[in-house]
Amino acid sequence: MADQHLSGVERILAPDAIVVSKTDTKGRITYANLTFLEIAGYTEKEVLGRPHNIVRHPDMPRTVFKLLWDTIEQRQEIFAYVINRAKNGDHYWVFAHVTPTFDAAGTITSFHSSRRCPQRKAVETVKSVYRELRDEEARHASPKDAVAAGIALLTNKFIGAGGSYEDLVFSL
């Protein structure tokens, strides 16, 4: 990403707002609703065809995106807390629901995400979990090792053996 400037200013989604986007199977944006464009500060022209990491915020742990992609590619839905970066460097938290879309043969044809304003209390917890995950990831040189260590920390410290990221999400 060319411009990674962060303003430190948080944008808060309206309680009834739903931020929607769709991607192709590679994660390139094929649809963004007006609410998405408004909160992210982009025009439709600027986002269509672009990778969804256009709104990636550096506070997001790599581990969470690995879980997201593994889950949707395994044909499951996922709920996740995500901090995104607007075009001008502002940030906004969302509670996202991401799903695959299938054709009649059951092949994945695209992905869909709808997001709402998260509970403030949950965001505060998620912030500290994500901070620890990023610190752990930063101790490993290779992205693969970083994600493995992130998943181990998430499981051992925040979820418990046999649990999933979803258990954590719905416990907040």
Ligand X SMILES: Cc1cc2nc3c(=O)[nH]c(=O)nc-3n(C[C@H](O)[C@H](O)[C@H](O)COP(=O)(O)O)c2cc1C
Give yes or no for a contact between 87 and 41, defined as CB atoms under 8 angstroms apart: yes
Span interacting with ligand X, options 4-12, 108-116, 121-129, 155-163, rule CB under 6 A: 108-116
35-71 residues labelled b (16+ CB within 10 A) or e (exposed)? bbbebbbbeeeebeeeebebbbbebbbbbbbbbbeeb
Single-letter code of the amino acid located at 40 = A
Closer to ligand X by Cβ: residue 83 or 168: 83
Q: Which of 84, 93, 95, 126 binds ligand X (CB under 6 A)?
A: 84
- Out of 42, 92, 93, 111, name the contact with ligand X by CB under 6 A: 111
Contact flag: residue 146 with ligand X (CB under 6 A): no
Please, which of residues 24-63 interact with ligand X by CB under 6 A? 27, 52-53, 55-56, 60
The rounded distance, in Å, linking the Cα atoms of 83 and 62 is 12
| Residue carrying the six token digits 């912030």 | 127
Find the binder of ligand X among 82, 117, 126, 154 (CB under 6 A).
82
Minimum CB–partner distance for residue 117 and ligand X (Å): 14
Residue 96 to residue 18: CA distance in whole angstroms: 10
Which lies closer to ligand X via its Cβ, residue 7 or residue 156?
7
**CB neighbourhood size of 28 (10 A):** 16
**C-alpha to C-alpha distances, 90 to 9, 11, 26, 81, 129, nearest whole angstrom:** 5, 7, 26, 17, 21
Is 117 one of the binding residues for ligand X (CB under 6 A)?
no
Tell me whether residue 67 or residue 159 sits nearer to ligand X (CB atom): 67
Answer for which of 11, 18, 38, 65 binds ligand X (CB under 6 A) is: 65
CB nearer to ligand X: pick between 53 and 156:
53
Residue with tokens 């044909």: 75
Assess 151 for contact with ligand X (CB under 6 A).
no
Positions touching ligand X (CB under 6 A) are: 21, 23, 27, 52-53, 55-56, 60, 65, 69, 82, 84, 98, 111-113
